[in-house]
Structure 1
Amino acid sequence: MSYPPQPPPYGYPAYGAYGSQPDHPQATTILILGILSLVLCQLVGPFAWVMGKRALNEIDASGGAIGGRGNVNAGYICGIIATVLLILSLSVVVLVVVLGVLGVLEGSSSSSY
C-alpha cells in the first residue's frame, strides 16, 4: 500500500513534491522588455514578442517542469501591443510624409501660373 507523501517538519521548506518549479531563465527579461516597449521605446516590442513566444513554447514543451508563464505571457502581450502601436505610428508618419510631398508638389505646380 502506498501512502501519500508527508509534508516536511515544521521549519523546513516545502520542496520536492510540494515545491514549485523554477521560472524560465528569460521570464523576467521578457517581462521587462514588454513593459519598456510600452512605456519608453516601442522598438523593443518585437523582441519581447518573439522572445515571449519562444519561451511560451519552451514552457509548454517542458510538461510543467518550467514555470514563469505569467511573467512571460505578460511580456509577450505587452510586446504585441507595442509592436502594433509601432506599426500604426510608422504608418501615420509615412502617410504624413507622402501627403506632405504630394501637397508640396501640388502647391509648386499651381503657383507656376
Structure 2
Amino acid sequence: MMASFGDSARGHPRSRGRAWSGWGSPLLERSRELGGGPDRATLEIIGVICAVAGFFVLGIVLGPVAMVCGWLAMGRSWSGARPVQAVVALVLGAIDTLLAIIWLASATGSGYGMF
C-alpha cells in the first residue's frame, strides 16, 4: 500500500494548524474582541496628519481621507466620548475638502477654460 501526502488534511482543508488560514489564530480572535481593524489612536494620528497635509497638497484627496479616519476613530457614532484628535481630523478634513472644492470651482471660472 502506498502512503500519499496530505491525506489527513484533505478532509479538513481549513484546519487550525495552517498558519495562513487565520482559523483559530489568537491574533484574529483578539482583534475580534477589540473591534477589529486598526487601532483608534492610529486612525486619529493618520487623520490629523492627512488633514494638516491636505492644506498644502491634494486637499481634495486628503480631506476625505482625514474625515474617514476621524469618523472611524470616533467609533462610527456621534454619541459617547469622542477623542479630541478624532474630532480635529474630522473637522479639518471637512475644511480641506470644502476649500479644495471652492478652489477647483474658482479655477474653472471664466478665462481658464479650453475654449
TM-score range, shorter chain: 0.5 to 0.7
Q: Give a deviation string over 1:9-60, Cα, whole Å, max 9, x none.
A: xxxxxxxxxxxxx953311111111111123331311111122123223476
1:33 maps to which of 47, 50, 60 = 50
Structure 1 unaligned residues grouped into runs of 5+: 1-21, 102-113
Cα gap change, 1:23 to 1:53, in 2 (>3 Å): closer
**RMSD of aligned alpha carbons:** 2.7
* 1:15-94 equivalence runs, <5 A: 24-42=41-59, 43-58=61-76, 69-94=83-108
Cα gap change, 1:26 to 1:59, in 2 (>3 Å): farther
When the two structures are superposed, what TM-score results if normalisation uses the length of structure 2? 0.52
Corresponding pairs, count: 75
Q: Give a deviation string over 1:51-91, Cα, whole Å, max 9, x none.
A: 21232234767x65xx7x11111111111111001101111
Identity of matched residues, %: 19
